[in-house]
């Protein structure tokens, strides 16, 4: 889904409820697989803080978590799909090596779902990274009205990737935090510049080039689908089209919720609208003359591709699952690793699997929980801003190896 574009880091103090919800809206994930080759970090760059450099400690025994088969079975299935990536890709957190996962992944292939709790108890141990204090928000897959071909009532273009949108060549632009160069375009003189911003695209800059892969009915709903980064378009005949992140315009993301808070439009005062996603949408609908100018303050734009399968694709390259998949910072959690959350929002308690990332999901124990699609998922994700403790599950023997270094 889409990459949230406001870096938040680890939230350690409980803020006012309205502000937390605004941060949540800014951090709504984004299921965005970056399928482009990463640029190399330049020589002499300062070392990144990772889970290994931050420090780890042993967590409680998994048997004490009282896992049930019903709670553990979905996580076992998600872990199984993550294994090919766990075994092939380096772990940026420094906690594990690809080979460390071999035994657990081999066991997962045939392990019966009815004994899923025993799988995690027998194969893993828990670690606390940086003390384990966590902050968790939520994201979902929007379902909005849309069609593949233009027809009356569906006038909001859903663009595929323009041919002149490219990653900057190394040295032509500063690296992003993930080590990649940004998206943009090269002008007539060969200089790399940002791609067209939201307002310019909305004004028709890309119209008539055959880039439309679909058409949405509602510009506000489509805006929030862009924030999420993927979603389903539902046609009048009931047919569906799932679209997922393909690229972005390289412009910085601005949370319109934070803009609206700063302007006094949302909050807890008289006449203000709630600072939730639902409250922001209600304000935009009640004030149509202000809606487009507000959305245009977010200069970022997401380009999409038609995707197939049983769910949106996360950064790990597998479909994310509601109430199972987490977005995490790969510098602090091995992507594909199970994570056990104990939070003050009971809906999110339990066993998850880190299968996604997000531009706002940065820092130790900062997570975005995926809730699936539909109205219930939208409601839960829109109100998810929870504090608690995160346990990272790693193959048995990991802590002994790390402490022996």
List, for residues 84-102, the tens digit of each pLDDT value.
999 999 999 999 999 999 9
Percent residues over pLDDT 90 in the chain: 72
Q: In 3D, which of 390, 380, 391, 388 has the Cα closest to residue 343?
A: 388
What CA dihedral angle connects 380, 383, 385 and 387, to 10 degrees?
Answer: -60
Please write the tens of the pLDDT for every residue from 324-362: 999 999 999 999 999 999 999 999 999 999 999 887 789
Query: What is the average per-residue pLDDT within 367-378?
Result: 91
Please write the tens of the pLDDT for every residue from 136-159: 999 888 999 999 999 999 999 999
Q: To which residue do tokens 């439009």 refer?
A: 265
Q: In 3D, which of 47, 58, 138 has the Cα closest to residue 366?
A: 138
54 close to 332: Cβ distance less than 8 angstroms: yes
What fold is seen in the domain 141-307? Ribosomal Protein L25; Chain P (2.40.240)
29 close to 3: Cβ distance less than 8 angstroms: yes
28 close to 137: Cβ distance less than 8 angstroms: yes
Tell me which DSSP letter residue 363 carries: S
Q: To which residue do tokens 């800059």 refer?
A: 205
Residue 39 has pLDDT above 80, yes or no: no
- Alpha carbon distances (Å) from 349 to 336, 344, 368, 386, 391: 18, 8, 13, 10, 11
pLDDT of 385: 87
What does the alpha-carbon distance between residue 105 and residue 115 come to, in Å, rounded to a whole number? 15
| 183-186 sheet: strands from edge to edge | 166-167, 183-186, 192-193
138 close to 26: Cβ distance less than 8 angstroms: no
- DSSP secondary structure, 105-135, as one string: HHHHHH--GGGHHHHHHHHEEEEEETT-EEE
Query: Which 3 state secondary structure label does DSSP give 71?
Result: helix
Tell me which DSSP letter residue 6 carries: S
What does the alpha-carbon distance between residue 216 and residue 142 come to, in Å, rounded to a whole number? 12
What does the alpha-carbon distance between residue 320 and residue 222 come to, in Å, rounded to a whole number? 21
Query: What is the average per-residue pLDDT within 391-403?
Result: 95
CB atoms within 10 A of CB 82: 26
Q: In 3D, which of 303, 198, 290 has the Cα closest to residue 252?
A: 198
When the pLDDT of each residue in the chain is averaged and rounded to a whole number, the result is 87
Residue 48 has pLDDT above 70, yes or no: yes
Which range in 4-8, 38-42, 120-124, 380-384 is most confidently predicted, on average pLDDT? Answer: 120-124
Cβ burial 266-280 (10 Å sphere, 16+ → b, else e): bbeeeebbbbbbebb
pLDDT of 403: 87
Token reading at 323: 């109430």
353 close to 315: Cβ distance less than 8 angstroms: no
What does the alpha-carbon distance between residue 4 and residue 359 come to, in Å, rounded to a whole number? 5
pTM of the model: 0.75
Number of H helices, E strands in the chain: 12, 17
Query: What is the average per-residue pLDDT within 377-385?
Result: 86
Please write the tens of the pLDDT for every residue from 196-241: 999 999 999 999 999 999 999 999 999 999 988 889 999 999 999 9
Higher pLDDT, 126 or 307: 126
Residue 296 has pLDDT above 90, yes or no: yes
Query: What is the average per-residue pLDDT within 388-402?
Result: 96
What does the alpha-carbon distance between residue 119 and residue 72 come to, in Å, rounded to a whole number? 9
Lowest mean pLDDT, pick from 17-31, 214-228, 371-385? 17-31
Q: Where are the domains of the chain?
A: 51-137+314-403, 141-307
* CATH 3.90.1570.10 for the 51-137+314-403 domain, yes or no: no
pLDDT of 183: 96
Tell me which DSSP letter residue 2 carries: P
Query: What is the average per-residue pLDDT within 168-173?
Result: 94
Residue 2 has pLDDT above 50, yes or no: no
CB atoms within 10 A of CB 63: 12
């Amino acid at each position: 889904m889409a990459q949230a574009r406001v870096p938040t880091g680890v939230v350690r103090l409980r803020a006012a409820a309205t502000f937390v919800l605004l941060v949540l809206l800014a951090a709504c994930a984004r299921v965005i697989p970056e399928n482009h080759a990463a640029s190399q970090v330049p020589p002499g760059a300062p070392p990144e803080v990772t889970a290994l450099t931050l420090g780890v400690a042993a967590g409680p025994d998994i048997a004490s978590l009282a896992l049930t088969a019903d709670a553990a079975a979905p996580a076992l299935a998600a872990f199984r799909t993550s294994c090919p990536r766990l075994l092939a890709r380096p772990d940026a957190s420094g906690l594990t090596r690809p080979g460390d996962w071999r035994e657990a992944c081999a066991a997962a292939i045939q392990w019966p779902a009815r004994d899923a709790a025993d799988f995690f108890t027998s194969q893993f141990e828990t670690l606390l990274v940086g003390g384990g204090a966590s902050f968790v928000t939520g994201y979902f897959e929007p379902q909005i009205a849309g069609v593949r071909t233009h027809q009356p009532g569906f006038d909001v273009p859903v663009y595929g990737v323009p041919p002149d949108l490219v990653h900057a060549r190394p040295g032509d632009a500063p690296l992003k935090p993930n080590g990649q160069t940004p998206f943009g375009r090269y002008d007539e003189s060969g200089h790399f510049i940002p791609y067209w911003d939201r307002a310019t695209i909305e004004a028709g800059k890309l119209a008539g080039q055959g880039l439309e892969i679909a058409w949405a009915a509602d510009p506000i709903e489509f805006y929030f689908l862009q924030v999420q980064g993927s979603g389903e378009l539902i046609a009048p005949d009931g047919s569906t089209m799932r679209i997922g992140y393909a690229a972005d315009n390289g412009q910085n993301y601005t949370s319109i919720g934070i803009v609206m808070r700063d302007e006094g439009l949302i909050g807890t005062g008289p006449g203000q609208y709630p600072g939730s996603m639902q409250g922001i949408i209600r304000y935009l609908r009640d004030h149509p003359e202000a809606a487009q100018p507000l959305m245009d303050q977010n200069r970022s734009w997401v380009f999409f591709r038609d995707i197939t399968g049983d769910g949106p694709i996360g950064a790990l390259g597998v479909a994310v699952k509601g109430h199972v998949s987490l977005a995490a910072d790969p510098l602090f959690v091995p992507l594909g690793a199970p994570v056990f959350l104990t939070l003050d929002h009971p809906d999110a308690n339990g066993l998850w699997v880190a299968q996604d990332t997000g531009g706002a999901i940065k820092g130790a124990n900062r997570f975005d929980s995926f809730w699936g699609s539909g109205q219930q998922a939208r409601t839960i994700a829109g109100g998810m801003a929870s504090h608690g403790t995160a346990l990272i599950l790693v193959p048995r023997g990991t802590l002994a190896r790390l402490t022996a270094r």
